Structure 1
């Protein structure tokens, strides 16, 4: 059965959750790219230096770090839905505040607050989707968030180009309020997740929500499994994540989050116009439309990833994407080393290098971050685990946003992409060593991978049926089977 058939059979509530998450992805992506276009005009209006341009870009990322730090705690405290409602309101308010800024300090504060909202969203949204989606389409709906993010990046570049003739950077920033209002209208009608209701002792609400999402499931059995998993988890805090059996899971998600950003993807998103300018491109059409073309190609890559993640598996998709990034870095280093005078074939190869780099990222890292953020921890640790992962991701993002233009000036394109290439190779071997293959496994089952020292027990198969032999009950629990 194809993924489209699976999605058609998914109940309306599950699709609404995925749609709301996707719309937030559009806003997230739009903000990432529209600052690249807006910065061309903000820099002129406020006469910004290179370091000041990096500061304007970094302000939102610094806010994201703070948001990611509190996102897991807030999600457990007030609920996934309440966080989603707050996110929609915050997106709209701070996008408008950014657009109304009349000086650099006001713009920095507005961008910091917008980043705070984004930081919470990148923690809460994967958890909300993972806990609300049927297992057979969970990976697809989590990847759909990345699809929406890339779509938002494309829209951001196109909006910047459409408004570039007038230099209307305020409209570029303020338009993000429109999808935020749409998210609010959808999310406010949704229930919270069944797992969060069970964590709060609201069994009736959990039963009603689970029945709406998976009508064919044995609801009582699912609720019993959730309750057992919650009861077995003691503490539910960062201290528990830092000791056995979940220390290995923590190392994995924190390391994965760091490699996702330190390998340089947001340098390309935030500063594509500057990179293409260094390759000899000129004019708003080239500097703003070429990045959009790159993102269209990366969007196609995400659709391919979407079709494979629940069939081929998480690890093959992720490793293939990182391998493409390594190859792209090699190409870009060669182009910049040979590029005394860009033009003709050399410029084309440079564009293709950026294209391959971005496609590789969205196919692998970009798609799988949301999958692993939602799958890697048991329910009471899931939000905190996603928070730790995304905090690591955003700390690396701060480093890239704050220093990329300086690196480009001092190391040149060859030196800069050589650094990213080395980091991508390290990321490849990290993923190969630590990433579990979670395809087809229930969320409650995945925790047993970590409890078994980072290995699937030999008897544990995805979606395996219970063994009828009651004398093996303890073995089945250790194997992660229902």
Structure 2
């Protein structure tokens, strides 16, 4: 691709309106996460009551969750191509409109067959969103705060889950599962209003050769830098890069990055976080929390702790770095899963043991959101150069969703077949594997420009020294 020549005229100084527009990018992208989080949590409460109405078996309960995840896999695979072809903004508009339609239809489903069909389509929309929204945020945010800005998407997602658990608790007395599922149609439609007013990202405009428009938007999103210089650097990186197809991910210099993101994405979900999100009322009921709606109320406090953990991650992620946050979160998950193995292994739960189990679930979920939850979006948007960024994000999130599908489908059956203790023991072993994998593969990208990160993978998983940096003609560092 060729990049149009940029004039030497400096951009006008940023106004207050320009700075506000830049912040609106991140906020609007993050709000899509609220919608995604709401659906993730709403099914946990609705499933208890729709299972009774539709007389579902354990396998059919798993299918209600896993069919949505199957749709997410399709959406994630389509999301990168859609975001490249039509733009990050257009992809998110499609997501918001489709989400509003399909959640409304799911609330009106007359039987489980219709519900499953609609939830598959809803999953496609969600899959597109979890590719497009982090890209939209990352490509519109200055490097110095990009980690926190992308992690804000996880804050929004957890906020959505917190909201839905309180909604589930409020509606549990009457078993109003249709309201639980359909309540988010209105905010999904409303998020389209600011999206219509915002431009696309600077890097997407450069990708399409619209460099003057890229300069205008770069001035909005990062008014403290020389927009023309930044856009020229992005254009030079795009010109230097070859390919852009999924096949490029399987060859040097990107193969190492592909192994990292696929492994991280898979471990993120196979360690069991959505077992808690989807089935928490059943888990707490098995612990003994049944009376006064505690099995519906307690998940709300779990997610509030997770929200606090995610905010803490945002506050330190661009100071302490990605690796310390990620490894601390995964390590805590390993310990809490081991505690749950012991708690469920002691036999009948009561008194102190029950509350220890609750504490372990709370800390496990908080640790996930502190580490995996906050970093998955950051690494998905950082690991690859511009031409491969959306494709790489799709591959990473597809691995994430395949693991999610396995957990959603088989967790209730495993709990019934081998018991809770052995189920959580297996998850603890997988979490330990995740800790070892991340320790050896996760790079520290704090403060690095998106184009600069390419040099890490090109140099065999090491940051090049100044003497080994590429020559200016092929420079990819902004």
The 2-side partners of 1:98 and 1:139 are apart by 35
* 1:407 alignment partner, one of 407, 410, 414: 414
Distance 1:10 1:272, change over 3 A: farther
The 2-side partners of 1:366 and 1:235 are apart by 30
Q: 5 Å matches for 1:14-163?
A: 14-163=22-171
Distance 1:65 1:458, change over 3 A: same
- Give unpaired runs (5+ residues) of structure 1: 1-7, 461-471
Deviation at 1:459, TM superposition (A): 3.1
The 2-side partners of 1:330 and 1:216 are apart by 48
The 2-side partners of 1:369 and 1:168 are apart by 34
The 2-side partners of 1:94 and 1:125 are apart by 19
DSSP 3-state at the match of 1:361 = helix
* 2:181 alignment partner, one of 169, 173, 178: 173
- Give unpaired runs (5+ residues) of structure 2: 1-15
- Quote the residue 2:8 is aligned against: none
- Quote the residue 2:10 is aligned against: none
Q: 5 Å matches for 1:347-386?
A: 347-386=354-393
Q: TM-score w.r.t. structure 1 length?
A: 0.94
Distance 1:94 1:436, change over 3 A: same
The 1-side partners of 2:17 and 2:365 are apart by 32
Cα deviation per residue 1:209-268 (whole Å; 9 max; x = unaligned)?
011112221122111111111111111011111100000001111110000000000000
- Quote the residue 2:461 is aligned against: 454
Distance 1:344 1:244, change over 3 A: same
Asked whether the equivalents of residues 237 and 475 of structure 2 are also in contact (C-alpha less than 8 Å), the reply is no
- Quote the residue 1:5 is aligned against: none
The 2-side partners of 1:393 and 1:449 are apart by 23
Matched, 1:289 2:289: no
Q: Once superposed, what is the RMSD of the aligned Cα atoms?
A: 1.6
Distance 1:481 1:60, change over 3 A: closer
Deviation at 1:14, TM superposition (A): 2.4
The 2-side partners of 1:364 and 1:411 are apart by 29
- Quote the residue 1:469 is aligned against: none
Deviation at 1:20, TM superposition (A): 1.2
Cα deviation per residue 1:176-206 (whole Å; 9 max; x = unaligned)?
1122122101111110011111111111211
Asked whether the equivalents of residues 164 and 284 of structure 1 are also in contact (C-alpha less than 8 Å), the reply is no
Cα deviation per residue 1:423-462 (whole Å; 9 max; x = unaligned)?
01110111111111000000010000000001001339xx
- Quote the residue 2:423 is aligned against: 416
Q: Point out the more displaced range, 176-185 or 357-366.
A: 176-185
- Quote the residue 2:353 is aligned against: 346
DSSP 3-state at the match of 1:132 = coil
Asked whether the equivalents of residues 37 and 156 of structure 2 are also in contact (C-alpha less than 8 Å), the reply is yes
Deviation at 1:32, TM superposition (A): 0.7
- Quote the residue 2:435 is aligned against: 428
Cα deviation per residue 1:273-322 (whole Å; 9 max; x = unaligned)?
11111111114621111011101011110011011110000000000000
Distance 1:476 1:230, change over 3 A: closer
Asked whether the equivalents of residues 336 and 413 of structure 1 are also in contact (C-alpha less than 8 Å), the reply is yes
Matched, 1:184 2:173: no
The 1-side partners of 2:295 and 2:18 are apart by 41
The 2-side partners of 1:60 and 1:284 are apart by 31
- Quote the residue 2:3 is aligned against: none
Q: TM-score w.r.t. structure 2 length?
A: 0.94
DSSP 3-state at the match of 1:441 = coil
Distance 1:20 1:54, change over 3 A: same
Query: Which aligned runs of 4 or more in structure 1 are off by greater than 6 angstroms?
Result: 476-479
Deviation at 1:9, TM superposition (A): 12
